Structure 1
Amino acid sequence: MPTMTAYVMPQNDSVRHQIRDVLVPLVAMFLASRLVLLVLASMTLQLSGAHGANSSLAPMLCRWDCEWYLGIAQHGYSTYEPGLAYGHAPGETTFGFYPLYPLIVRFFTPLMGGDVLHAGILVSNLCFLAALFYVYLYVRELGLNRSVGLLTACMLCVFPQSIVFSAPLSESIFLLLMAAAMYHFRREQYLVAGIAAALLTAVRPNGILFIVFAGVLLVQQHGLRAVLAPWRMPEKFVPIVLAPLGMFLFLTYCYVATGDAFAHESTESIGWGWAFVPPWENLLEQLHSGSVLALCAAISISVALCSLLLLQYGMYAEFAFCIASILLIWCGQGVVSLFRYWMILFPIWIAVARSVAVRPMGATLLCALLGMISGVIACAWALGSIIAL
């Protein structure tokens, strides 16, 4: 009796299917979302009566912290304080920003004819596109289907204030490296995960919270007793050991350059007025402020509630990372970002996408609502309104 053999898809066919089913939709979502947001921002500039350089798209994308990053990319770090004459408060210096993003922008600047602004825009968009792929891969690594992966990517593209992913700011590279570090750690590719984590802490200090994710996942997979005996599986602790490296290198540079290893914290405190406040006090103060801070606080509470979906789906390590990030942001006095701090917490949006993916109409309405808010925020961004900060 003849035996039946399983059909194995030829490798070329598999690659074509991956391009058709994954690559094309992700690139299409990336391009469509960027085009719509930039068109809306451009129309807003034209209707506002902006002229000359103020009416072009590239300068419009450079808002708030952008000038600091581009200044570091062009001139390096300095203790010079621009002061009130330049719209800055005394005590603000370039040491308030970590170095990896401006270093990469500096590398790309010659490729853009010496134009550091366009180099920054290019780097941010390339990192965002790569981040979408990593987020999709992460979704599949969790055992979820293609629809959840594409829906998560779509939400990131249309999320309110997602225009920041195309601006010369560090959100795109932070999202990319965080997704990469978590993805490779879950795949037990520990050296790659450690390198990504080390680069992550050279982008922003809160990247160190990757250690929370890694530690909880190890406990979840191997038990607390095994984790308390790291010599029995040392390779699994490589990412945890390497993660602080980017931060330590920057602290060392700060010490050599200024004599203060914590120059970043000093300028954040003196220049930007950052101070630790118990999160419950900070939230109550913001909710009763009667200003945009009240809206920011309400949105942050909504994000925290959405993070509970991670517990429902057994994503305990991802929940630990997200809730630690939320608590850290809540502890910062005077936090004013509406959405920018929350977009990069991609595990939350994976859980939300998983919840609504089974309801196509609900998923469509959610993306449409997010897209409409994002369009409004893009217009506010073009006008330099604080609501887009």
Structure 2
Amino acid sequence: MKIPKLSTYRDLLPRLRVNFVTALLIWFGVFCGYYFFSRGLDPVPGPLAASLVNWDAKWYLDIAQHGYQYVPGSPVGQNIVFFPLYSLILALLGKILPFFALANIGIWLAAGSGVLSIFLFHRFARENLAEPAANAATWFYALSPAAFFFASDYPTGLMNVLALLALLTWHRERPALTAFWLGLGSASGPLMVFFAFALWSILAWQRWQERSWRSLGGSVLLGFFASSGLIAFIVYQYVTFSAPLAFIHGHASYLGELSPLQKLTNIVHLYPFSGADYTPLWQALAGEVTALNPARSVYFLMNVVVLAGNLLALLYFVWRRVWAWAWIALVLVGAYLWFQGASQGPVSTYRLLYLNLPLFLLGGQLWQWRPRWGYVALTLSAAALFLQSAFFASGHWAF
């Protein structure tokens, strides 16, 4: 076995330091939220570890334990709206490790994929930025409030591992392997489907430059593999429920049925982006007693800030004529606005870390240009990570 050089270990130390600081902030926040924060909308009774399996984590765990259920036209939420990859891996691990609780296995799966994603992100950042900016971007990624979801039964870490593997293989001009990772990613979450489309369309454009039927056929084949996870999920729903688009129809209880014109009107009016009630947040910060839950105000504020940052990153890449990243950012932000933001307002924007990859790159660049601003932005992000962890453990809805 080849023994790594000492320099290899030295290269690992900064990434290990980032992981340690992230874990410290998360678990300190969980501890404070569990023991000192007031109970929120949906606290989970039992020991501290039980508080980590809440909200969407319950759905993923339910799928791993009982499979999918679908009732057409149901007015309540259904687990069919959640994509299968994370729950499938969790169910397989449960069979391999039957002596461990499935919820605990899920936490370890989320943590392991989250740690791996930090290492992969640093490698990805080094291919796009100078070394100091890449290091700073990695800190922004690891101390994002969404990093909390590396401590709960959420597929956040898994999604980012797959997105980053696809980007890294794309940079290395290995289109078949890129399509493979994109195909897995398309089975992990709806916006990952749009990420797969954005990156595949870049691959197709690069092949179109060859101006040959062979390159066109290759692009179609790559597109099939890049969307293979979604295709498999649709086939499963057709065979099981005779409803190939059940995962879309099941969203009606969450998002409502809006016409394209209504969605466009909501986006143009920035509703309800500017319509959220931030009064409980300002009252809580001022030390005043508030009858309403301040966590929801923080939730909307965080997502508005992150969405604005993503739009700024999009403009930055257009200005620098980095067209590939501008296109990826445009597809992801556009899909988010149309399918989720237009119906629910700024929800879960920051939690989808792969949606914010351009923003983290911009943060690293900001650090290199204006270190003081970078320190301020990173400090605010770390504080948000602590609050996210505390709110989640106390039963408040995630930011």
User: Normalized against structure 1, the TM-score is what?
Assistant: 0.83
**Distance change in 2, residues 1:361/1:54 (3 Å):** same
| Rounded Cα–Cα distance in structure 2 between residues aligned with 1:266 and 1:287 | 25
| Rounded Cα–Cα distance in structure 1 between residues aligned with 2:354 and 2:13 | 23
**Distance change in 2, residues 1:141/1:284 (3 Å):** closer
Q: How does 1:1-389 map to 2 (within 5 A)?
A: 15-21=5-11, 23-48=12-37, 54=45, 56-79=47-70, 90-109=75-94, 110-111=96-97, 113-142=99-128, 144-209=129-194, 210-216=196-202, 219=205, 225-226=209-210, 229=212, 231-232=214-215, 239-270=222-253, 272-273=255-256, 275=258, 277-279=262-264, 281-282=266-267, 284-291=270-277, 292=297, 295=301, 296-297=303-304, 299-331=306-338, 332=340, 333-335=343-345, 336-337=347-348, 339-341=350-352, 344-386=355-397, 388-389=398-399
Unaligned runs of 5+ residues in structure 2 are: 278-296
Q: Which has the higher contact order (CA 8 A, sep 6+)?
A: 2
Segment of structure 1 superposing worse, 238-247 or 72-81: 72-81
Q: What is the one-letter code of the residue matched to 1:43?
A: C
Q: What is the one-letter code of the residue matched to 2:168?
A: Y
| Rounded Cα–Cα distance in structure 1 between residues aligned with 2:236 and 2:390 | 39
Q: What is the one-letter code of the residue matched to 1:307?
A: L
**Distance change in 2, residues 1:93/1:25 (3 Å):** same
1:125 match: secondary structure: helix
1:285 match: secondary structure: coil
**Distance change in 2, residues 1:302/1:354 (3 Å):** closer
1:77 match: secondary structure: coil
Q: What is the one-letter code of the residue matched to 1:178?
A: A
1:150 match: secondary structure: helix
8 Å CA contact retained: 1:287, 1:298: no
| Rounded Cα–Cα distance in structure 1 between residues aligned with 2:304 and 2:370 | 29
**Distance change in 2, residues 1:361/1:218 (3 Å):** farther
| Rounded Cα–Cα distance in structure 1 between residues aligned with 2:44 and 2:263 | 43
Number of residue equivalences: 365
Deviation at 1:236, TM superposition (A): 6.6
Aligned to 2:291: none
Deviation at 1:27, TM superposition (A): 2.3
Q: What is the one-letter code of the residue matched to 1:310?
A: F
8 Å CA contact retained: 2:29, 2:389: yes
Aligned to 1:5: none
| Rounded Cα–Cα distance in structure 2 between residues aligned with 1:246 and 1:129 | 24
Unaligned runs of 5+ residues in structure 1 are: 1-10, 84-88
**Distance change in 2, residues 1:214/1:314 (3 Å):** farther
1:284 match: secondary structure: coil
